[in-house]
Each structure stands twice: as structure tokens, then as C-alpha cells.
Chain A
Amino acid sequence: MGGTVSANHDRSNLLEVRGLTKIFGTLTACDHIDLNIAKGEIHALLGENGAGKSTLVKMLFGSLEPNSGEIFWDGRAVKITSPGVAKKLGIGMVFQHFSLFEALTAAENIALSLNDGSPISTIAAKARALSFSYGLPLDPDSLVGDLSVGERQRIEIIRCLLQTPQLIILDEPTSVLTPQEADKLFETLERLRSEGKSILYISHRLEEVKRICDRATVLRHGKVVGHCNPREETAASLARMMVGSEVKAVVRAPAEGIETAPALLEIRGLSRKPATPFAIPLKNINLKVRVGEVIGIAGVAGNGQGEFFESISGEVLQQDAGSVRIRGKDAGGLSITGRRLMGAAFVPEERLGHGAAPRMKLSENLLLSRHATDGKAFVGSGGMVRNGAVYSAAQRIIKAMDVRKSAPDPEAAALSGGNLQKFIVGRELDRKPSVMVVNQPTWGVDAGAAAHIRQALIELARSGSAVLVISQDLDELFELSDGIAVMHNGELSTPLPIAEATFEKIGLLMGGAEPGHAEHSLEVA
């Protein structure tokens, strides 16, 4: 194969991967992967969650050891046994998670990955200079724990660039950025390409791959299923390659008469002091979610969404009981169970450990969350649990949400992320709650399951409930919502009706433009 596969015969490959395989227990995460990256190209690695993208790049960066296969760097066979070896070769990596130290400053974080022993002040000066030359301003003395996710990513990029790598691997870089920040990143990437550097760009966002990538390799279930030029493909054809089948589009019938409908969930002047030094305070939040409507909350991660969800769900109680009202009654002083009894339902962000107890069966997890609201059905006289009733209810949910599993009533941890999420959402939907609050409904869920969950949420709203969705995924919010509000630094903007909302407007609000002045700042930008 080799040169015949490559579109450019005049450019030799910087990196060639032949038959790379990684096996975890019974799972083959990467199965004989072939990949060529030419000098000076932006190469996309596409695939759904769990397709093996992260495993592949971890092997390229030396954090994982392949079971078999070969890697050629500049035509030479190499063994990348540790991240140190990868760095020496000239491979740099910008991680999606877990690679900054929150309790250290930006400069210290950078110093840790450069093993040259130069003083921190020199490194800080270098980082500052480089960050300004690439238009990614950075304060080296700031503490990482205080920085926004976008700023943290700048540190990662600068840290990577300071090592003057030939190949830069970016793992889902835009999932935490506002659209405007992403634009800035694309400019930087194009500049790096013009300097002759190669970039391996991992993403599941097809539009941006079409926009900046020269070639793409598509993975599915650990195997390469195709190579293509993303500019010649449509988003739909790329999605088909990734998923392997057509993804059913979500249908959202227009909501009627929402303006006059009564509010089922009302937040009035909700404020909250930061619980920890790195937490975000909530500042005077006002919001109404009416009968029949889905309201989406957008925002870059870490702007107070988690704190907001905890306040609504009752994990944290409010001092002012009137700041959270469910079906017209004050609920701010009630616990989670109290709020559930008023007809509300909540799905937290973390599936395992928060949304479900990992080592307990699905039916037991069902009982845990609904023993109070469905006390009559699930608990008999003398406090005895009616196992039969709980079991059949669990089976009903499994059927309704199409949860795929290996045993009739498996432990929560035995399910894949998407299937567990379907069960957790289904568990709440099964109650027909009049208020439903969901945080990141489809994070890390495959496209098919995500469409199923979104459709179910829309149908719940149309049948007369109020649905509030907090999500970092703008595409999802545009698909689901009748109105989108943006959370920035603990403040919530007024919801924009979906007909008026655009990516640009929402993006500006996510970046901190003043609510209500979105139009004006759009012109300036």
C-alpha cells in the first residue's frame, strides 16, 4: 500500500502506522489500524465514542503499548515506549482531559513537560511571547484551577508548541470552546500547517472537519472503515461512514401557545455562594419553563451549570424557598425527594456514581430513585420491597428505551455509556414527570442512542411537561429546544426563541458578551 494510498506522491509520509492493534481483555479497541499522515497536512480521525480513536492516539503518544503493529516515523521504524520518547521524536499532544495540574500555575504546568531545566521565569516569558504571537493570550502566573476551560486549552496548546513538535495531535479540541474560540483555534492550526507541521485532528464534529481537514480516516468499532477527502463529502455521508447506518433525524413539531401557558418550573433570583475556592457563584438567575416547552441552557463547561443543576434538583438547598418553584409552589427548601414528590425529575451529568450506583442492578437503581414517588407500587406493607413490581417496571423501561444489555437485569456498570444513559433517562420519563431537568443528556452517547433520548425529551414536553436541558453540545440544543439561554460565569441570559437563535449569537453569549446586546457586539466582531 504505502504511497499508492497517499494522495500526494511528492510528499513523503511523516508518520505511517501499519496494523496497529490493542486488546483490552476481550475487547479489541484497535484492530489492525493503518494510518498515513503526510508532512504539512491536517488529518482528521473520525469516529463515534468508543470507536478506538483515543486508544489509537494514546499508542502514538506512548501512553499505551500496542499488542502488535508497526509505527514508522519519517520512514524509520520506531517503538514509542513512553510519552518521553514521543516528545523526543517530535510528537506533541493536546489532551481532551486529565493533563493539567489545577493547583499549579500555567508556567509550572508548562515547565513540567519541558525537561530542559531552565528556570520557571524563562519558561513563563517564552510562553507569554509564543502565546501572543499565535494570538492565544495567556497569563503564565495564573493558577490553572482559576481558569476557564478554553484558557486551559490554550495552556495545553502553548505547552505543546514550546516543544516544537513536527506532529501535533489534538483530541476533541473544540468540545469545550465557544464557536468564536474554535475559529481562533482553526486559524492557529492553519498557520501551523503553513509552517510545514502535521496535525492529527480528532473530532466527531463533522462541519469543522469538512472546514479545516485535508484528509480523513474513519474508524468504527476499532477498525478503519474508510479514507476520504472531507471537503468532497457531506456531513450526512461522513456520519453514515462513522455510524454505519442512517441516523434517524430528530423531529420537533412546533410548539403552540407556549407564551400564554403556565410555568411549571420557575427560578426567581437564584443566587449561590461558591462552595469551594474553584467553584462558580450563581448570580441572580431568573428563568421560566412553561407547559409544553423545552428550554436549553448553553455554555462553556465550568460556568456554573453544575452548581445550577444542584440548586434546582435539591442536592443543595436554597435559603430563599421562593427561588425555585415547581408547579407554582415554593420548592427551594425541599430535598431531592421533596421536589420529586412535587412532580419533578432530575438526570445528573455523571451516569456512574451519581445517576446510578455502578455495582447495583438496574431494578435496584430504579427502586433507589423512585421508592418515594412510587411508594405504593414498589413498597408493600411493613416496608417490604415488592421485587416483582420493581423488576417488571425495570423491564418496561428497558423495552421503551431500547436498552441493549447482556443479562435480563444487569449491574449498571455492565452497560455501555449510551445504554445506561437511555435507562437513566427512561427511568425518569416512565414517571411522566411534569418537570424534567437533564444535565448533558447525551454526553458520550452514540448517535443512535442520542437521537432516541432527544426525541423522547421532546415528546415529553409536547405531552404537557416542562423540560430543561443543560448541555455543552450546541447542535443538540438547536435540535431540542424551543428557546436557548446561555450561562456564563454564573449568570444566565434571557432565553432566545429558537427562531431567532443562531450559532453566532449563542457563541457570543457563551464568550461573555453582555446579554441583550448580542446584536451590537456581532457587528463589532
Chain B
Amino acid sequence: MIGENGPFSLSGKKILITGASSGIGRSCAIECSKLGAALIITGRNSERLEETMAMLSGYGHLFKALDLNDGDATSGFISDISNLDGVVYCAGIQKTCPSKLIQRADIEAVFETNFFSIANINSLLLKKKKLNKGASIVFISSTAAGIVAESGNAVYSASKGAITSFAKVLALELSHQKIRVNCILPAMVKTPLLETISVDKEQLELDEKRYPFGYGSPEDVAYAVIYLLSHAAKWVTGTNLLLDGGLTLR
């Protein structure tokens, strides 16, 4: 099933992963490489990207330290890469702030990374015709996108809601090219990002008790990404795959 020729194989597929210098993006890169994908990984921190590179299986992977908020650099990068069979948008930031104290600069920073730059690189990929027929695009959204409310999370939620809505329209527009577009909506996942969210450890431990299966691991998300990138999901487009360890069961 998961071998070289199984339905979940990524063998022979060229896949771009953003935000691969840590957390979910790094884990996606590692797991996709195990299933035979040839990867192009990006992230802002070149040292940590190289660490990710060292963890990959197989050959033919490339990395590029790149701030996707830099439009010109992103455009040049997209022009230079070869055609892709998959894209995974993992780059994202979080900012905890109660609604009444939100400042415009915070909104701009979160939306810049979580929505504007992703919509921008996506358009570049389409304009420069970098996606092969049958390609699969996966957005890492969040349960924060209109599923679960957490105090202090309004701006992040809004940015993920934007991505989820964007993906739906993109799925329709790209359907005639047989390109599939899907979102994954994870609840809390144990990543370095979590440390920037946490008010404190006690509160996190209490929060995790609300999850029948506890918080997720980056690999839990990576396996869902693999499914959506693979031939196994050839009938799946425009969907939001909820990964929440049972949080929203009641």
C-alpha cells in the first residue's frame, strides 16, 4: 500500500513545501521524502532549512532560503523552478491578542504571512504555468478557521478563514486542469509555534485534556498531507480535512 507503486506513493512527484524550516512544514518534508517525492523546500531561516535537508530521505531535493513576503525574490524563485506535481503551504505565524487590543500592524503581519504571501506565490505558480496536470495543492489551515473559537485568536482565525475560503474557489478554478486543491484543518499540534501561543504550561496541559486523543504531532498532519498529495486522493478536491484528535466531537 505504501510502497513504491502503492496508491500513497509520491515516487516521481516534484513537490514544493513552504515553511519547511520547522514544525509541520519540516515534518511534511521528511515524511514526503520517505515516500519518494523530490522536494523543493523553502523557509526564512537557511540554517534550519539545511537541518531539514539533512533529515530527508532519497535524492534530488533542493532548498531555498526565502521570505515569501518578499514579492520580487519569490517571483524570481518561482521562475527558476521546474514544474511541480504538488504544493504544500505550511508557512504561517500566530499572534495571540484579545480583540480589543489588536493593532493594525499585528493584523497586517499575520495576514501578510498567512494569507497575502500565499495567495501571491500561488498566483505566480499558475501564471508561470508551473503546475502539472493532476497536481495537488494542500493548504495548512486550522480549526481556528471558523470551527473552534479560542480567546485571543481572532486575527489568526481570520487569516486561516481567508485561506480556507480562497482554497475553495481555487479548487473550482483549477478543476478543468485536473489540479486538486484541499485544506487541512488541524487543531493544536505540538510544534515550536505552540510555544509562541502558550500563555503558560499549566494552561496548555489543561487545554490538552479537552482532546480525547491529546494534541497532534507534526507527523499526524504530514500523513494527511501525503494522502492529499497522492494518487489515493485523486477524487478529492475542495475539501477541508479536520484533524482534531476528537476535540470537536462535542
Q: Do A and B bind each other?
A: no
